Amino acid sequence: MNKGERTKNYIIEQSSSLFNMQGYKTTSISDIMNATGLKKGGIYNHFENKESLAEASFLHSMNTLKEHYIHAVSEKNTACEQFDEFINVFSTLLHDQFIRGGCPLMNAAIEADDSMIEFEDTIKDGFNGLIQLITNIIQQGQVRNEINKDIHPEEMAVFILSSLEGSLALSRLNRDKKYLDMIIKQLKKMLF
């Protein structure tokens, strides 16, 4: 990797937390300059505009999270173990372990709902990827008779993800993990 690629990656890594915590519309180039220590020209040398940097930063956050999910789930054999690992990775969003500011998908989706974000399709793709991952866990669990075959995999995956995102928001807002824990407990009762 050459110096230009390293600088570009550094800008993305530093700005991804800012965008996730402050918002894609409200984070300024000045904020990014402060975080990276670079001048405006140094940033725009690598990105056409703030929107292209915002999308690259979102993709970085989303892919970081996706890698953690896939790695954690692929290490387990049963649907219950895979679901537990999915939950473990999701729970890191409460404490900003891998990504600061909560779930980048939810944060971007909420912001896109209120104003135009140019990478709305990328946000949708991110959610669809998580729904597909959960759907696969359920389908494989049904094949192995670990999960009730009456459960519709995709519908349940949407329900699971929606429930988790909502409980994460409540837990972060109240600074209390109990909301996330309550939902996880109920989801496990429904699945296993």
Virtual torsion, Cα 32, 103, 96, 62, nearest 10 deg: -70
Q: Tokens in use for 54?
A: 């915002």
Residue ranges of the alpha helices (H) in 75-119?
79-91, 104-114
Q: At what angle do helices 178-191 and 79-91 cross, to 10 degrees?
A: 160
Mean pLDDT of the chain: 94
Q: Which CATH code of 1.10.3720.10, 1.10.357.10, 3.40.600.10, 3.40.190.10 fits the domain covering 55-191?
A: 1.10.357.10
- pLDDT at residue number 114: 75
Locus of tokens 């389908």: 139
| Dist. CA 37–CA 16, nearest whole Å | 15
- Give me the residue spans of the domains in the chain: 55-191
- pLDDT at residue number 88: 96
- pLDDT at residue number 96: 81
Residue ranges of the chain with per-residue pLDDT less than 70: none
pTM: 0.91
CA distances to 7, 32, 58, 69 from 52, rounded to whole Å, are 15, 13, 10, 26
Identify the DSSP state of 38: -
- Compute the half-sphere exposure of residue 78: CA atoms within 13 Å on the CB side of its CA: 8
